Amino acid sequence: MNNQPRISDKRKWHSVPTDEAMNILETGPDGLSIKEATDRLNSFGPNMLAQTARKGPLTRFLLQFHNVLIYVLLVAAVITALLQEWVDSMVIFGVTIVNALIGFIQEGKAEKSLDSIRNMLAPQAVVIRDGKRQTISAQDLVPGDVVVLKAGDKVPADIRLFESRDLQIDESALTGESVAVSKNTHEVDEDSSLGDRTSMAFSGTLVTYGQARGVVSTTGENTQIGRISSMLSQVDTLTTPLLRQIARFGHMLTAVILVLAGLTFFFGILIRDYSAGDMFLAAVGLAVAAIPEGLPAIMTITLAIGVQRMARRNAIIRSLPAVETLGSVTIICSDKTGTLTKNEMTVQNIQTGDNLFTVTGAGYSPDGVFKLHDKEVDFNNYPVLMEMLRSAFLCNDADIKESDGHWKLDGAPTEGALVTAAMKAGLDQEKINAENPRQDSMPFSSEKKFMATLNRVDSKNVVILKGAPERVMERCSHQRHQGKDKPLDLDFWQKSGEEIASKGQRLLAVAVKKAGDLQSVQDKDVEDGFTLLGVFGIIDPPREEAIEAAAKLIGDCVSVKECRSAGIRVKMITGDHALTALSIAEKLGIGDGKTALTGKELENKSDEDLEKVTPDIDVFARTSPEHKLRLVKALQARNHIVAMTGDGVNDAPALKRADVGVAMGKNGTEAAKEASDMVLADDNFASIANAVEEGRTVYDNLKKAILFILPTNGGQALLVIASILMGIGVMDATGHFTLPVTPPQILWINMVTAVSLALALAFEPSEANVMNRPPRSPDENLVSGFLLWRVTFVSLILVTGALGHYKLILAGGYSQDLASTAAINTLVVGQVFYLFNSRYIYESSLNFQGIFGSRPVLLSIAVLAVLQLSFTYLPPMQFIFQTEALAFSSWILIFIFGIILFFLVELEKAIFRKTQT
């Protein structure tokens, strides 16, 4: 779209006086003419967010196959098809298609994030054109239009206000500010943060109170929400650590398979003088043996089981790889409101002329007590406190009700906090209101910053004043002290207010005055003559479970028993004020309680400087969407795996960029949810700690599955190699060399052990030390040096047992088919015993829990027993796989071998544990 050069959309409209804004936009209070509006619409384009180009569904589906391991599997499928093993070929093809479908569906969900932001825009707007009020489609708004706003409206564009009457706007979706913002028409500093631009109403925010008029300054993509949408479309998502590890593993595996197959092929021809045809089939058998066909299926199932476990702990996973990524997170960047806090304002301190009281409890539930000097208060001894609470009840429009075991607020959050505090003192709202009926009221005004009511209290008329301390106190001449009125001590109240405010609490004062026979409240009735009862300290406090969760992650102990350091750094990034953020952070054990970096300070730092300071600062306040995105990128540049939590559209770009984006399920916007990888059903930070634990468990189980599957492939591959190197096999009458185990038999072993045995490891519970160890390095290889050793060690044992039994059967004068059957069952039973070893990578399995403690393991062995006995004894299976029935004596030897393998691996574990101490 082409913008008119005479109107600058780059101007900082919040700092421009209203008259100047009107002149720049070439408009007035009567709005634009219809013709001018039409001309500008043609020039600026509609007030909507642009659609971004997207890949077609076919392209997106085909791209799911762009993975080295998938290529290897597809080659394996083709090879098995050439061998006319159609069932095995279709199974492998099926695995790749299922994985592609999962990726395709998840990618499609992610693209909805832009759509959800577009849906936040207002559908209609009330404008003044040619001096007449009319309702138009919000898409037809242009810069210079005069818009009328009232309570309940969604702001249709970015608007510079020129008239405002008690206007309050909920901007939490844009700024993270936990309470509605009072607006006015006065210009503010040019470098003011988004939450402090009180002269502006921003597109997509909600008017909660009052009325206003303003002139449209920017539309479409140039609005604040448009800029966020543009940022979101440009944010690149990062490949998860697991997928990077799988890619490296796939490349390594491909190279090893090709090299071994080639060397085996040429060795057989040049050294053993076998035919090229036989060696080609041997090379194919080696490739089929080495490829872990069941691994992608096991990975998908293990991740899916992790998804189910997390769902039971209120963490809903939207992207399968995010399950494992949570386990490798090194830093959690958390929004404050609703995640670390309950997003429910709570009275925590009450200052009267006599005492400073502490109020326990959080949220709108009336559970809590009043304390003075750490002792519970007897309300009969503190009449001023009770008068103050009763007055806060009466000068109040909020209502709190219990529904389905939850206390819900109807009204303003700060007023709800006062109602809850009074209820904690045993006061009943309906009874108090009935005994002290309201005669008249003066509603809260953003200009006056107070509310007043006229009530009949104890048969006398009383005016109750509630509002900002500075506005209330300037109308007070006295204060209540020990039940009597004495002259107002401003120094005392200023010091008391500073002490409460230093804890991050908002202040609200309450005062009263006798009203004689007054019948209504006018401006002149609230000018002076009041007696100050006291000041409330109100805050959105941290969740208790969030404090414990933060301690669990960062090791800042709540108690010795509860503290389990997971080595994760928690950072608070909020749109709220620095003082409030620091207060909450201190209670949570985040940071040092003194250092916070504000958005304004952040803007003055280069990307390089930000990368240097970000790891050492844990509290960021007054941040914008751009700030959050820069912080995530800066941390990732230092090789951190970052989880980002948020609930507003302002969080969406950072959520998308983070390694794991975590959105709020109850109070989060759809934009945040669609940009995220995980949604918290309970909006609770503690659920993130639970999810991290599950993520680490999932990774452990994946490693166990890999540690179990690879020796199967290694043993089979070594069996093929050793057979050719040592000339072990059978040469038939036609001169064709037959391996001890054929490719179809190899595929059978791969699939049954993966589908039955390896699957059991996906259900393994968390190990005891899972949250006691630091996060693993993002650069860690999926197959470590230790893992390679274990795979090699077990593979050598398996191939020794299988070849030994094979040669023993042949030496007894029995057939090749019987010898192959014995070798296959030796490999499979060896894997059964090794399954018990694999339940613990380093710890001993030689105990009751290790052997009998997993029902899935025992069930999988039972399933495998049925499959393997069918493979050995059923005539159709004997025909397909060329097997013969084994004698009882062979089974005894096979089980003795399995027991030996189990004890050898346990001995290896014990030696490893000893070397690590």
pLDDT in tens, 629-655: 899 999 999 989 898 988 777 788 888
| The three-state (H, E, C) secondary structure of 880-900, written as one string | HHCCCCCCHHHHHHHHHHHHH
* Per-residue confidence band for 56, with pLDDT thresholds at 50, 70 and 90: low
User: Residue for token digits 């406190």?
Assistant: 385
| The three-state (H, E, C) secondary structure of 209-251, written as one string | EEEEEEEEEECHHHCHHHHHHHHHHHCCCCCCHHHHHHHHHHH
- Residue 153 buriedness (CB in 10 A; 0-12 / 13-18 / 19+): buried
Q: What is the per-residue pLDDT for 730?
A: 65
Helix (H, G, I), strand (E, B) or coil at 916: helix
Question: Is the predicted pLDDT of residue 9 greater than 60, yes or no?
Answer: no
Question: Is the predicted pLDDT of residue 908 greater than 90, yes or no?
Answer: yes
| Distance, CA of 665 to CA of 650 (rounded, Å) | 16
User: Residue for token digits 């007897």?
Assistant: 378
Amino acid at the residue 804: G
CA neighbor of 415 nearest in space, from 316, 508, 304: 508
Catalytic residue among 145, 153, 335, 651: 335
Helix (H, G, I), strand (E, B) or coil at 362: coil
| Distance, CA of 14 to CA of 187 (rounded, Å) | 6
Q: What is the per-residue pLDDT for 336?
A: 66
For residue 443, the 8-state DSSP code is -
Instruction: Count the residues in the chain.
Output: 917
Tell me the per-residue pLDDT of 125-138, one tens digit each, with 9 for 90 and over.
Answer: 899 999 999 999 98
Q: What is the per-residue pLDDT for 6?
A: 45
Question: Stretch 165-189: mean pLDDT, rounded?
Answer: 81
Side by side, the strands of the sheet bearing 660-664 are: 315-317, 678-680, 660-664, 642-646, 331-334, 569-573, 619-621, 597-598
Report which secondary-structure segment, H or E, holds 699: helix 685-726
| Distance, CA of 164 to CA of 160 (rounded, Å) | 11
Question: Is the predicted pLDDT of residue 45 greater than 80, yes or no?
Answer: yes
Question: What DSSP assignment string belongs to 142-176?
Answer: -TT-EEEEETTPBP-SEEEEEEEEEEEEE-HHHH-
Q: Please work out, in degrees rounded to the nearest 5, the angle formed at the alpha carbon of residue 192 by the alpha carbons of 190 and 198.
A: 100
Q: What is the per-residue pLDDT for 114?
A: 39
| Distance, CA of 376 to CA of 354 (rounded, Å) | 16
Token digits of residue 882? 């060329």
| Distance, CA of 549 to CA of 554 (rounded, Å) | 9
Q: What is the per-residue pLDDT for 54?
A: 57
Question: Is the predicted pLDDT of residue 66 greater than 70, yes or no?
Answer: no
Considering only CA atoms, give the Rg of the chain.
36
Q: Residue 243, CB half-sphere, CA atoms under 13 Å: how many?
A: 17
Helix (H, G, I), strand (E, B) or coil at 206: strand
Token digits of residue 305? 């089981």
Task: Specify the pairing of strand 619-621 against strand 597-598.
Answer: parallel
CA neighbor of 505 nearest in space, from 533, 469, 475: 469
Who wins on pLDDT, 704 or 421?
421
Question: Stretch 149-157: mean pLDDT, rounded?
Answer: 88
Helix (H, G, I), strand (E, B) or coil at 180: coil
What percent of the chain lies above the pLDDT cut of 90? Answer: 36
532 to 176, 397, 480, 483, 787: CA distances (angstroms):
33, 21, 6, 12, 72
* Per-residue confidence band for 2, with pLDDT thresholds at 50, 70 and 90: very low
- Residue 405 buriedness (CB in 10 A; 0-12 / 13-18 / 19+): exposed
Q: Please work out, in degrees rounded to the nearest 5, the angle formed at the alpha carbon of residue 559 by the alpha carbons of 556 and 562.
A: 85
Q: What is the per-residue pLDDT for 141?
A: 94
Question: Stretch 403-408: mean pLDDT, rounded?
Answer: 80
Are the C-beta atoms of 351 and 590 separated by less than 8 Å? no
Most confident of 182-186, 304-308, 346-350, 408-412: 346-350
Who wins on pLDDT, 112 or 290?
290
> For this structure, is 491 an active site residue?
no
Tell me the per-residue pLDDT of 647-681, one tens digit each, with 9 for 90 and over.
Answer: 777 788 888 889 888 888 777 776 777 778 888 87
Are the C-beta atoms of 313 and 690 separated by less than 8 Å? yes
729 to 226, 736, 879: CA distances (angstroms):
71, 10, 20
Token digits of residue 599? 């958005």
Token digits of residue 114? 């832009």
For residue 542, the 8-state DSSP code is B
Global confidence as pTM: 0.65
What percent of the chain lies above the pLDDT cut of 70? Answer: 83
Question: How far does CA 717 lie from the centroid of its chain?
Answer: 42
| Distance, CA of 575 to CA of 554 (rounded, Å) | 23
Q: What is the per-residue pLDDT for 432?
A: 92
Least reliable range by pLDDT among 168-182, 410-424, 532-546, 849-863: 168-182
Question: Is the predicted pLDDT of residue 905 greater than 60, yes or no?
Answer: yes
Question: Is the predicted pLDDT of residue 110 greater than 90, yes or no?
Answer: no
Question: Is the predicted pLDDT of residue 560 greater than 70, yes or no?
Answer: no
| Distance, CA of 83 to CA of 89 (rounded, Å) | 9
* Per-residue confidence band for 230, with pLDDT thresholds at 50, 70 and 90: confident
Task: Specify the pairing of strand 678-680 against strand 460-467.
Answer: unpaired
Q: What is the per-residue pLDDT for 358?
A: 95
Tell me the per-residue pLDDT of 112-123, one tens digit each, with 9 for 90 and over.
Answer: 443 444 454 557
Tell me the per-residue pLDDT of 862-898, one tens digit each, with 9 for 90 and over.
Answer: 999 999 999 999 999 998 888 999 999 999 999 999 9
| Distance, CA of 619 to CA of 839 (rounded, Å) | 41
User: Residue for token digits 């770009």?
Assistant: 653
User: What is the overall mean pLDDT for the chain?
Assistant: 82
Q: What is the per-residue pLDDT for 861?
A: 95
Report which secondary-structure segment, H or E, holds 862: helix 855-873
Are the C-beta atoms of 475 and 528 separated by less than 8 Å? yes
| Distance, CA of 607 to CA of 625 (rounded, Å) | 16
Tell me the per-residue pLDDT of 778-835, one tens digit each, with 9 for 90 and over.
Answer: 667 667 788 889 989 999 999 999 999 999 999 998 998 999 999 999 999 999 999 9
Q: What is the per-residue pLDDT for 682?
A: 77
| Distance, CA of 648 to CA of 669 (rounded, Å) | 5
Question: Is the predicted pLDDT of residue 293 greater than 70, yes or no?
Answer: no
| Distance, CA of 771 to CA of 840 (rounded, Å) | 16
Q: Residue 663, CB half-sphere, CA atoms under 13 Å: how many?
A: 32
Q: How many CB atoms lie within 10 A of CB 775?
A: 21
Q: How many CB atoms lie within 10 A of CB 390?
A: 22
Tell me the per-residue pLDDT of 349-370, one tens digit each, with 9 for 90 and over.
Answer: 999 998 999 999 888 889 999 9
Q: What is the per-residue pLDDT for 731?
A: 64
Question: Is the predicted pLDDT of residue 724 greater than 60, yes or no?
Answer: yes
Q: How many CB atoms lie within 10 A of CB 744?
A: 18
Question: How far does CA 280 lie from the centroid of its chain?
Answer: 50
Least reliable range by pLDDT among 306-320, 375-389, 601-615, 837-851: 306-320
Q: What is the per-residue pLDDT for 546?
A: 64
CA neighbor of 219 nearest in space, from 208, 205, 203: 203
Cα dihedral 644, 649, 652, 654 sign: negative
Question: Is the predicted pLDDT of residue 298 greater than 90, yes or no?
Answer: no
Q: What is the per-residue pLDDT for 562?
A: 32
- Residue 56 buriedness (CB in 10 A; 0-12 / 13-18 / 19+): exposed
- Report the C-alpha dihedral over residues 549, 550, 555, 561, rounded to 10 degrees: -30
Phi, psi of 841 (to 5 degrees): -70, -45
For residue 774, the 8-state DSSP code is P
Question: What DSSP assignment string belongs to 805-843?
Answer: HHHHHHHTT--HHHHHHHHHHHHHHHHHHHHHHHTSSSS
Phi, psi of 168 (to 5 degrees): -130, 135
Tell me the per-residue pLDDT of 231-276, one tens digit each, with 9 for 90 and over.
Answer: 776 666 656 666 677 767 777 777 888 888 889 889 888 888 887 7
Question: Stretch 204-217: mean pLDDT, rounded?
Answer: 89
Tell me the per-residue pLDDT of 429-482, one tens digit each, with 9 for 90 and over.
Answer: 889 999 999 999 988 876 678 999 999 998 899 999 999 899 999 999 999 988
For residue 440, the 8-state DSSP code is E
Are the C-beta atoms of 839 and 906 separated by less than 8 Å? no
Q: What is the per-residue pLDDT for 558?
A: 35
Most confident of 549-558, 573-582, 586-595, 657-666: 657-666
Question: Stretch 156-167: mean pLDDT, rounded?
Answer: 91
User: Residue for token digits 């007030």?
Assistant: 47
